[in-house]
Structure 1
Amino acid sequence: MAEPLTSLADDRALLGRTSTAERVADILRDRIAEGYFPPGARLSEEGVCGALGVSRNTLREAFRLLTHERLLVHRLNRGVFVRVLDIGDVEDIYRTRALVERAVVRGLGEAPHGLGALAAAVREGRRAAREDDWNGVATANIRFHRALVALAGSVRTDELMRGVLAELRLAFHVVDDPRRLHQPYITRNAEVLAALEAGDRAAAEHLLTDYLDSSRRRVVEAYRDRVAGGGEREAAAAAAGGA
């Protein structure tokens, strides 16, 4: 994986002539969702401003927006850090996912649906697994579920779930064995896709319900084990001088 600030520089062109705090927040949110910034990482104003070519005022507004979304925290006299979740956060993320993702599937009209982005995410996950790239598998999984929510055709729902799924990625960072966590969902994503391709919304919703419950239990178990062992404190301490 590329260095976080180097990867931000790659996105600089996206800002174009209409650089806004919202667009900067979009870029940083996406980078959190893709695993570039782990929980506890400090985001340097100087480093991010230099990578994106934006002013400190613009960046501070973007930081404010992401703090409101619970992705960042501001620590007095220390700076801005990526938030460290607790188990209650993880449980709430999955409650939200179940409410939204199941409703999206249940509310789909008659097939065919535009499933190209879901199929691409399934292929991406399989490729990453073949390359033993489990961070890549996690990113493909996040993209699959963003594409699933996008089937609703709702800008508001898309915006809500972008933040929720970025928070979910923060929980993934504390898992010691990402292969054990993510490998089952390569197949499960493919099963949900196949049900949607067949136009069987009831089967897709049933698969998704079981999927989310299983994923919640796995993540909470792994998260509880890591945090109980002091992993949360270790992660924050290790990242205190981060990018």
Structure 2
Amino acid sequence: MLTSQRKALILDILSREGQVVAKAAAERFSLSEDTIRRDLREMAADGLLKRVHGGALPLTPDLPDFSVRKEIALDIKRRLGAKAASLVKAGQTIFLDGGTTNAEIVRCLPRDIPFTVATHSPTIAAELEHHPTAEVILIGGRIYKHSMVATGAVAMAAISLLRPDIFFLGVTAAHPTHGLSTGDFEEAAIKRHIASRSAETYVLVTEEKLDRASPFPILPVGEVSGLIVPAETDSTQLQPYRQINVAILEA
């Protein structure tokens, strides 16, 4: 089998199954694992897939900047935001991650009960300017402009002083085996720290983020309280997540 033919078959497996396991591919093609790993390295270098331990995953598409992302899939994000906001109870402290999907949570938060919102996102804090019952704690630090969130040691220290009831975590990718991930090392560390301080963590995930992996891991999927997903998401796509006992909340 020619190398080009083999790589085409690898891409076909990736498209149909959502991942390539090097050992299984080697057995399927009657080749050594070293040959398949070399193919995967070359394909990753060509920008065709993402190498992970034991195989490969589809690439997570590059996200446009924050101002553009605000206009993408608004209806779906509003439904996810409303479902997340329905989990908030009187007297709780919730931590809102940055991102355009989490901004929709703000717009749906209850206006008849008192609660506290902590956030390291100035754009999220600004959305709460006129909220009648929400107290706001803004965490400072170096701003990662792509997501408009604070990172670094100052943010870490301030987060250590909090014990949120719920953390609404934003991610760029979710995979049942490779976990929740994002595109920046420092941002991933901050997200991981907030989750460690929080009683519960929920993740709002649009369909294009499922079964994908970004460069920097945050948490295994099984360590969060639940995923909030669009109601129209294919049930077979969600089955691997249910098998690791993570709650699936449909919106």
Given the two structures, how large is their TM-score scaled by the length of structure 1? 0.26
| Higher relative contact order structure (alpha carbons within 8 Å, sequence separation ≥ 6) | 1
- Higher strand fraction (1 or 2): 2
Given the two structures, how large is their TM-score scaled by the length of structure 2? 0.25
- Higher helix fraction (1 or 2): 1
Q: Which has the larger radius of gyration?
A: 2
